[in-house]
A and B are shown apart, each in its own frame.
Chain A
Amino acid sequence: MIRIVLPAHLRTLAALTGEVELDVAPPVTPSSVLDALEATHPVLRGTIRDRTTGRRRPFVRFFAEGEDLSHGPMDAALPDAVAAGTEPFCIIGAMAGG
């Protein structure tokens, strides 16, 4: 079971409270986690990844175990603790804006 932390605006949009828990078949990567998240909550399509290019939106970041994974390959394996569900995969709205 993968644990996903979403920013508040996306929790509101998807009518969620707290963390999201999803079964994700290996390999557990940013892409496979987001594919599973969007399949379960279609309203999130386009809010994390651009609908046309599939790229991470510029003001969205991916954190896990205190590391910024945003700039790594989308098909790179996430840390074992994320894959095991002991640590969450955090989707963050960048600290910007007004």
Chain B
Amino acid sequence: MASGGIRVLVGTRKGAFILTSDEARGRWDVAGPWFGGWEIYHVTGSPVNPDRLYASQSTGWFGQLIQRSDDGGGTWSPVGNDFSYDGETGTHQWYDGTPHPWEFARVWHLEPSPSDPETVFAGVEDAALFVSRDGGQGWSELPALRNHESGPSWQPGAGGMCLHTVMIDPTNVDRMFAAISAAGVFRTGDGGSTWEPANRGLHSEGIPDPNAEVGHCVHRLAMHPTRPDVLFMQKHWDVMRSDDGGDSWREISGDLPTDFGFAIEVHSHEPETVFVVPITSDSQHYPPDGKLRVYRSRSGGNEWEPLTRGLPQANCYVNVLRDAMAVDVMDPCGVYFGTTGGQVYASADGGDSWDAIVRDLPAVLSIEVQTLT
């Protein structure tokens, strides 16, 4: 059961792990794997009831399952796994530009409601948004997103046509943002009944119209909960910022060594402090020069400083995936990320220094952090 301390929920290619520490964040216990041998794209907890956890469990052999724990990860039970699209599914574009029918592949991301422990959203591949209002037992699609008029033109990114990011405005839960690779950002103000693209200002050289309204490979969004109109984005290339809730975006890559990457996160107490992990390029998914460096901006972007203390600065060729970075709400803020090499790094001082909690897990797909009281 929840008691003081930190719980890091880790999804990997071959199971789920839970790392726990007291508030000092100096000594860690590593537990797992749960669901050994299965791909765990995401494990996360309800902000309302931190002992209510959800895990997305899948394999190429046996498909998709959702697991739920009501005791902070001690025990798990499978809940609903019927992710049937609502009505006619139509087609999107395939890699070769031909029409391809919408086919469910997996759940990439689970986003529990900030106000109701029984409500949880699921972003899936092929891109769509589902919701459960009974703790994961039953799922229904919010079909207006997939049925947006631009849907037939959406194309998959290299990892599949995934809806990978769901952000809910904690001050108004009907206001949500969803990000799809490679379609871009969509937002709703009515709980998902209607959606509109929110990509103005994005520029992507890899698409026919670099300034198109839809078609951008957005990798990840981040938001500080007290400023839901200020959004940060790691795009395929470019780190971006919006100050008007997605009406417009501007580039803040500034002096980063490369602006390709996947993960982006905001400091829990400093809304203008942002973390990214620059990755060499879209064909070289590892850090520049073999040096694993988190970059921090304290000015909301453009000016970035490398954070290297405790991170390997030679011969490091891992990746940090889009859902594999998170912060706690302790003071000082803790920052956590996992790598495709199986390391989970933690900083208990806002990024100034880092230690590996664990070094040899399977490739890390996702990290979430719970600050328990």
In the assembled complex, the CB of A80 is this many whole angstroms from the nearest CB of chain B, namely: 29
A59 within 8 Å of B by Cβ?
A: yes
Residue pair B61, A52 in contact (C-beta under 8 Å): no
B82 within 8 Å of A by Cβ?
A: yes
Known: A9-B37, A9-B38. A94 touches B61 (CB 8 A): yes
Residue pair B82, A57 in contact (C-beta under 8 Å): no
Residue pair A51, B62 in contact (C-beta under 8 Å): no
B81 within 8 Å of A by Cβ?
A: yes
The residue from A9, A52, A96 contacting B62, defined by CB atoms under 8 A apart: A9
B97 within 8 Å of A by Cβ?
A: no
Residues of chain A from 47 to 98 with CB closer than 8 A to chain B in the complex: 47-48, 50-52, 57-60, 93-94, 96-97
Inter-chain contacts of A93 with B (CB < 8 A): 61-62
Inter-chain contacts of A60 with B (CB < 8 A): 61-62
Residue pair A13, B65 in contact (C-beta under 8 Å): yes
B94 within 8 Å of A by Cβ?
A: no
Residues of chain B from 87 to 110 with CB closer than 8 A to chain A in the complex: 104
User: In the docked arrangement, what's the CA distance between A60 and B62, Å?
Assistant: 8
In the assembled complex, the CB of B137 is this many whole angstroms from the nearest CB of chain A, namely: 11
A24 within 8 Å of B by Cβ?
A: no
Q: How many residues of A contact B (CB 8 A)?
A: 20
Q: How many interface contacts (CB-CB < 8 Å) are there between A and B?
A: 49
Residue pair A57, B63 in contact (C-beta under 8 Å): yes
User: In the docked arrangement, what's the CA distance between A48 and B63, Å?
Assistant: 8
In the assembled complex, the CB of B61 is this many whole angstroms from the nearest CB of chain A, namely: 4
B78 within 8 Å of A by Cβ?
A: yes
A10 within 8 Å of B by Cβ?
A: yes
Residue pair B64, A46 in contact (C-beta under 8 Å): yes
Residue pair A47, B84 in contact (C-beta under 8 Å): no
The residue from A43, A45, A50, A57 contacting B61, defined by CB atoms under 8 A apart: A57
Inter-chain contacts of A9 with B (CB < 8 A): 37-38, 59, 61-62
Inter-chain contacts of B84 with A (CB < 8 A): 51-52
**Chief secondary structure at chain B's binding surface:** loop
Inter-chain contacts of A96 with B (CB < 8 A): 60-61
In the assembled complex, the CB of A32 is this many whole angstroms from the nearest CB of chain B, namely: 21
Question: Which single residue of chain B is at the shortest CB-CB distance from A94?
Answer: B61
Inter-chain contacts of A45 with B (CB < 8 A): 81-82
Known: A9-B37, A9-B38. A48 touches B62 (CB 8 A): yes
Inter-chain contacts of B85 with A (CB < 8 A): 52
Inter-chain contacts of A52 with B (CB < 8 A): 84-85, 104
Residue pair B60, A47 in contact (C-beta under 8 Å): no
In the assembled complex, the CB of A96 is this many whole angstroms from the nearest CB of chain B, namely: 8
Inter-chain contacts of B37 with A (CB < 8 A): 9
Residue pair A50, B65 in contact (C-beta under 8 Å): no
In the assembled complex, the CB of A12 is this many whole angstroms from the nearest CB of chain B, namely: 9
User: In the docked arrangement, what's the CA distance between A50 and B104, Å?
Assistant: 10
Residues of chain A from 1 to 56 with CB closer than 8 A to chain B in the complex: 7, 9-10, 13, 43, 45-48, 50-52
The residue from B62, B65, B78 contacting A57, defined by CB atoms under 8 A apart: B62
Residues of chain B from 31 to 64 with CB closer than 8 A to chain A in the complex: 37-38, 59-64
Question: Which single residue of chain A is at the shortest CB-CB distance from B85?
Answer: A52
B83 within 8 Å of A by Cβ?
A: yes
Known: A51-B81, A51-B83. A46 touches B38 (CB 8 A): no
Inter-chain contacts of A51 with B (CB < 8 A): 63, 81-84
Residue pair B61, A46 in contact (C-beta under 8 Å): no
Q: Counting chain B CB atoms within 10 Å of each CB, which of A9, A58, A94, A96 scores highest?
A: A9
Inter-chain contacts of A7 with B (CB < 8 A): 61-62
User: In the docked arrangement, what's the CA distance between A17 and B259, Å?
Assistant: 51
In the assembled complex, the CB of B33 is this many whole angstroms from the nearest CB of chain A, namely: 12
Residue pair A47, B62 in contact (C-beta under 8 Å): yes
In the assembled complex, the CB of B80 is this many whole angstroms from the nearest CB of chain A, namely: 10
Q: List 22 A-B contacts (CB under 8 A).
A: A7-B62, A9-B37, A9-B59, A13-B65, A13-B78, A45-B82, A46-B63, A46-B65, A46-B82, A47-B63, A47-B65, A50-B63, A51-B82, A51-B83, A51-B84, A52-B85, A57-B61, A58-B60, A59-B60, A93-B62, A94-B61, A96-B60
Known: A47-B62, A52-B85, A96-B60. 10 other contacts (CB 8 A): A9-B61, A43-B65, A46-B64, A46-B81, A50-B63, A51-B83, A57-B61, A59-B61, A93-B62, A97-B60
Q: Which residues from chain B sit less than 8 Å from chain A, CB to CB? A: 37-38, 59-65, 78, 81-85, 104
